[in-house]
Amino acid sequence: MAEKIFLGNSTTATFVCPKCERSRTSDISKLLTAKAQLKIKCTCKCGHTFSVVIERRKYYRKTLELPGVVFSSETGRKFVMTVNDLSRSGARIKINSSFPFSVGDLIQVEFNLDDKDRSFIQKKSEVRSINGPFLGLEFTEIEKYDKIGQYLMFN
Which pLDDT score is estimated for 7?
A: 62
Work out the pLDDT band at 85, boundaries 50, 70, 90: very high
Average model confidence (pLDDT) across the chain: 84
Which pLDDT score is estimated for 6?
A: 57
| 65-77 tens-digit pLDDT | 999 999 987 788 8
User: Per residue in 72-96, is it b (16+ CB within 10 Å) or e — as a string?
Assistant: beeeeeebebbbebbbbebbbbebe
Q: Between 107 and 59, name the one with better pLDDT.
A: 107
Assess whether pLDDT exceeds 60 at residue 137: yes
Measured in residues, the chain has a length of 155
**pTM of the predicted model as reported, rounded to 2 decimal places:** 0.66
Q: How far apart are CA 127 and CA 107, in angstroms?
A: 7
Which pLDDT score is estimated for 40?
A: 83
The residue-averaged pLDDT of 72-101 equals 88
Which pLDDT score is estimated for 4?
A: 63
| 4-63 tens-digit pLDDT | 665 656 677 788 888 998 888 888 777 766 566 778 888 999 999 998 887 766 666 788
Fold of the domain spanning 62-154? Thrombin, subunit H (2.40.10)
With contact defined as beta carbons under 8 Å apart, do 96 and 75 qualify? no
Q: Where are the domains of the chain?
A: 3-55, 62-154
Q: How far apart are CA 120 and CA 138, in angstroms?
A: 18
Nearest CA to 128 out of 92, 74, 152 is that of 92
CA separation, residue 74 to residues 35, 77, 86, 97, 135 (Å): 33, 8, 24, 18, 17
Which pLDDT score is estimated for 2?
A: 62
Q: pLDDT exceeding 90 applies to what percent of the chain? A: 40
